[in-house]
């Protein structure tokens, strides 16, 4: 879920004093009273102009004693970040490497793709690269998008369960009006359906939109708000309270809702891995991987995990940072259902389903310079590319599952980190 407000001031505070040592801007007051705080400088006119950006950099340095030598080394006009960030002060430089190519047999992505991965975790690029090699040798990864929806879930409170139930009926009967109001706020968004969940005296509505090439969280928030205004007008005598969101979306949270009903894209990546490839490239028997899947599935069931696979979050976070996705969506995006089976010929069919992959090729951070370049490397920049991009992400996730599962089975996990990793 996103952020809020209406605030005029972009700083939390007031006056200032440097404190280089402990790097707190203001130390504790002797009297124990909260001191009047410092304000991050911001300009009402053009808060992205070089002068105010420089003023902020100087302010941070003065207030904390930290030097921002690298943070200020961005290669673009800060005005490009308008709509992406407030109080722009510089950049975090995240190392970027390439794995692959990965051969993807999607409906939208067809061919071999070099995969940009932004990460600070040693071994990650190498491990995904290894999984891709296996997929390539087995004909590539087949990727299929099974759903595509973005949600917002307002709640309406009534005097009783019976009125909530009557309201559900009203919603079903007025879907045309609801759609009209929602879609009037957006060029690309289309309301596909509204689920209604009842509990106590509440009706939770879950609006489902298609959102084109944008991730669409803001689009659907605005459209749902418009629809709800109209709904509230028509039901003002019975609705006692209303909130635009009540945790059934479920935005930026892992949930069974998402596992069942998808959020963003639901994508499955699959491949049949040849026995000989597994043996030669990964030094592992298919049977060992199959056994591990069973025992790890039981483990994940005990643990109550939202992912019976291994580490989808690694690929997703690295690709999201590289391509300007909303990285907070790793929270729900990492949910996964992995499945594998030995084929009659003793090869290994493996698949992973990502039920809530939220991606965009337009809007959000996708237009920022380095992110745009990475999307272009994938041939996924701009309109009409989001399904292609989703397929590639799922394929990369599967590569990582194969590589790590094999390392666990072959007991090569620790040695590889010793060689490539940083943590000692």
Question: For this structure, is 362 an active site residue?
Answer: no
Minimum Å gap between C-beta 183 and its own copies is 14
Minimum Å gap between C-beta 234 and its own copies is 17
Minimum Å gap between C-beta 33 and its own copies is 9
Question: For this structure, is 326 an active site residue?
Answer: yes
CB-CB contact of 145 with 152 (8 Å) = no
Distances, alpha carbon 42 to alpha carbons 15, 17, 59, 97, 179, in Å: 14, 18, 11, 35, 40
How would you class 206 by CB atoms within 10 Å of its CB: exposed for 0-12, middle for 13-18, buried for 19 or more? buried
Q: Which is nearer to its own copies, 63 or 179 (CB)?
A: 63
Minimum Å gap between C-beta 237 and its own copies is 18
CB-CB contact of 408 with 399 (8 Å) = no
User: Which tokens sit at 244?
Assistant: 């635009």
Q: Which is nearer to its own copies, 19 or 180 (CB)?
A: 19
Q: Which of 326, 347, 391, 401 is catalytic?
A: 326
Hey, how many other C-beta atoms are within 10 angstroms of the C-beta on 304?
Answer: 6
Distances, alpha carbon 159 to alpha carbons 80, 241, 259, in Å: 49, 10, 32
43/204 Cα distance (integer angstroms): 41
CB-CB contact of 389 with 378 (8 Å) = yes
Minimum Å gap between C-beta 149 and its own copies is 13
On the question of a cis peptide bond just before residue 117, with omega within 30 degrees of 0, the verdict is no
Q: Which is nearer to its own copies, 136 or 235 (CB)?
A: 136
DSSP label at 4? -
Q: Which of 55, 61, 121, 195 is catalytic?
A: 121
Q: Which is nearer to its own copies, 6 or 237 (CB)?
A: 6
What is the distance, to the nearest Å, from the Cα of residue 142 to the centroid of all Cα atoms in its chain? 22
Tell me the Ramachandran region of residue 100: left when phi exceeds 0, alpha when psi lies from -120 to 50, beta otherwise: left
316/313 Cα distance (integer angstroms): 5
Minimum Å gap between C-beta 134 and its own copies is 8
152/220 Cα distance (integer angstroms): 6
User: Which tokens sit at 76?
Assistant: 């673009």
Three-state DSSP at 132 gives helix
Question: For this structure, is 121 an active site residue?
Answer: yes
Minimum Å gap between C-beta 141 and its own copies is 11
Q: Which residues are catalytic?
A: 121, 326, 417
């Amino acid at each position: 879920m996103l952020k809020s407000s209406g605030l005029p001031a972009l700083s939390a505070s007031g006056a200032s004093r440097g404190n280089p040592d402990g790097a707190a801007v203001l130390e504790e007051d002797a009297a124990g009273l909260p001191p009047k705080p410092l304000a991050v400088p911001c300009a009402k006119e053009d808060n992205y102009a070089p002068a105010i950006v420089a003023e902020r950099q100087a302010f941070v340095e003065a207030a904390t004693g930290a030097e921002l030598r690298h943070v200020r080394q961005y290669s673009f006009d800060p005005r490009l970040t308008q709509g992406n960030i407030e109080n722009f002060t510089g950049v975090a430089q995240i190392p970027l490497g390439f794995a692959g190519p990965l051969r993807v047999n999607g409906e939208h992505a067809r061919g071999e793709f070099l995969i940009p991965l932004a990460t600070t975790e040693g071994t990650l690029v190498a491990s995904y690269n290894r999984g891709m090699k296996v997929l390539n040798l087995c004909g590539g990864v087949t990727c299929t998008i099974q759903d595509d929806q973005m949600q917002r879930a307002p709640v309406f409170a009534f005097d009783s369960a019976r009125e909530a139930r009557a309201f559900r009926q009203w919603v079903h009967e007025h879907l045309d009006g609801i759609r009209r109001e929602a879609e009037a706020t957006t060029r690309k968004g289309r309301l596909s359906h509204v689920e209604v969940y009842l509990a106590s005296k509440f009706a939770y509505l879950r609006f489902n939109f298609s959102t084109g090439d944008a991730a669409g969280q803001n689009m659907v928030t605005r459209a749902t708000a418009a629809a709800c205004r109209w709904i509230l007008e028509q039901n003002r005598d019975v609705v006692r309270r209303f909130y635009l969101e009540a945790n059934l979306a479920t935005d930026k949270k892992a949930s069974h809702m998402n596992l069942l009903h998808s959020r963003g894209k639901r994508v499955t990546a699959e491949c049949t891995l040849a026995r000989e490839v597994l043996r030669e490239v990964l030094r592992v028997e298919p049977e060992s991987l199959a056994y591990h899947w069973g025992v790890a599935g039981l483990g994940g069931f005990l643990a109550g995990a939202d992912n019976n696979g291994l580490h989808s979050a690694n690929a997703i976070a690295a690709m999201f940072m590289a391509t300007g996705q909303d990285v907070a969506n790793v929270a729900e995006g990492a949910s996964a259902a992995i499945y594998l089976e030995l084929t009659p010929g003793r090869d290994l069919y493996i698949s992973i389903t990502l039920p809530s992959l939220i991606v965009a090729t337009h809007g959000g951070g996708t237009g920022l310079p380095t992110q745009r370049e990475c999307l272009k490397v994938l041939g996924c920049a701009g309109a009409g590319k989001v399904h292609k991009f989703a397929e590639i992400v799922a394929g990369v996730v599967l590569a990582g599952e194969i590589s790590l599962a094999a390392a666990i089975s072959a007991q090569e996990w620790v040695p590889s980190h010793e060689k490539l990793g940083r943590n000692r």
